[in-house]
């Protein structure tokens, strides 16, 4: 699953993606809606690998993109797993121990590291490599009936695209071992309870919920979104507080950030009455239609 790096570095924007056969991409207000459409069951095979490489590169290079959402055209399969035939074709020749992450993990880590937000909206099955792609996203939301898992040990191998690492960071060592060694599916409800996904939702609420969240994030100042993500990424490291302090300082000097803070005060922030509906004030400071109470709505015209 070594990625062709040329497609990562092509410099194409999301709207300029060409030759992508396993994904459908729609752009809406800074959000790239990526629908995995690779019958018969959305296998992670060579064709999908190339398209994923191109997608990650395009989102990374596209200054107009703030959020990428992964969904599936197949209600039964988000991504089934990696193509076992492809895995069987990988080299088994002796080699020295790795001194850096394998290409597939470097590819997926770009999703974590870039200043854009990746969200997986999971309906159906996400096992093996499908689970690992979801784990590489910044957030995961699933239907209550979704099924996730890492069944590789039952085939005599282990998760090879970051599953042992990212899953352990989310659910803890003992839970990760239960999932990886037990090879059983985890329902959406259970996945939400243990932190495998952010939350589980009824089938008809998944996409509307993710749409609202993605649109909200895309409307925020880019410097604040990027800085917050970088600081959260640094949290497990001893230098996390330094990163947070630097990114806070960067955002503080951004003109859009200052406009929003000034509007927050003008529209009733830091008043007992106004902050009873903080969401309305936040929407107003961002220039979005107000869900306001009369008190702060009147103040916005003064």
Domain coordinates of the chain in residue numbers? 5-218, 222-299
End-to-end CA distance of the chain: 60
Q: Catalytic annotation on 132?
A: yes
pLDDT tens digits, 13-35: 887 777 899 999 999 999 999 99
The pair of three-digit structure tokens given for residue 237, joined into one six-digit string: 């490291």
- Percent of the chain whose pLDDT exceeds 70: 86
Instruction: State the average pLDDT over residues 241-251.
Output: 73
With 60 as the cut, is the pLDDT of residue 7 above it? no
Q: Catalytic annotation on 230?
A: no
Distance CA 129, CA 125 (A): 11
pLDDT tens digits, 126-143: 999 999 999 999 999 999
What CATH number has the domain spanning 5-218?
A: 3.90.226.10
pLDDT tens digits, 154-210: 888 888 899 999 999 999 999 999 999 999 999 999 999 999 999 999 999 999 999
Q: Which of 18, 152, 244, 262 is catalytic?
A: 152
Q: Which of 132, 178, 230, 256 is catalytic?
A: 132
Query: Does pTM top 0.75 for this prediction?
Result: yes
CA 7 vs. chain centroid, Å, equals: 20
Distance CA 26, CA 234 (A): 31
Instruction: State the average pLDDT over residues 253-269.
Output: 82
pLDDT at position 298: 35
Distance CA 246, CA 46 (A): 40
């Amino acid at each position: 699953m070594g990625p062709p790096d040329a497609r990562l570095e092509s410099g194409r924007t999301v709207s300029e993606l060409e030759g992508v056969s396993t994904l459908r991409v729609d752009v809406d207000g800074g959000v790239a809606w990526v629908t995995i459409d690779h019958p018969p069951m959305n296998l992670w095979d060579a064709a999908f690998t190339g398209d994923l490489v191109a997608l990650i590169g395009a989102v990374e290079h596209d200054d107009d993109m703030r959020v990428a959402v992964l969904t599936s055209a197949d209600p039964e399969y988000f991504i089934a797993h990696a193509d076992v035939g492809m895995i069987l074709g990988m080299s088994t020749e002796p080699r020295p121990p790795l001194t850096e992450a394998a290409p597939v993990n470097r590819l997926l880590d770009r999703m974590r590291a870039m200043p854009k937000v990746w969200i997986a909206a999971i309906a159906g099955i996400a096992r093996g490599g499908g689970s690992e792609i979801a784990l590489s996203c910044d957030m995961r939301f699933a239907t209550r009936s979704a099924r996730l898992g890492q069944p590789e040990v039952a085939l005599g191998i282990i998760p090879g695209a970051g599953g042992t690492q990212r899953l352990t960071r989310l659910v803890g060592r003992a839970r990760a071992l239960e999932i990886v060694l037990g090879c059983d599916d985890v329902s959406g409800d259970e996945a939400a309870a243990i932190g495998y996904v952010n939350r589980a939702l009824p089938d008809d609420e998944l996409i509307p919920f993710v749409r609202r969240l993605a649109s909200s994030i895309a409307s925020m100042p880019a410097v604040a979104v990027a800085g917050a993500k970088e600081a959260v990424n640094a949290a497990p490291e001893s230098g996390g507080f330094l990163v947070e302090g630097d990114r806070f300082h960067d955002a503080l000097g951004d003109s859009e950030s200052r406009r929003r803070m000034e509007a927050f005060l003008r529209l009733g922030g830091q008043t007992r009455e106004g902050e009873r509906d903080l969401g309305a004030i936040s929407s107003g400071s961002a220039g979005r239609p107000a869900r306001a109470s009369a008190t702060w709505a009147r103040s916005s015209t003064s």
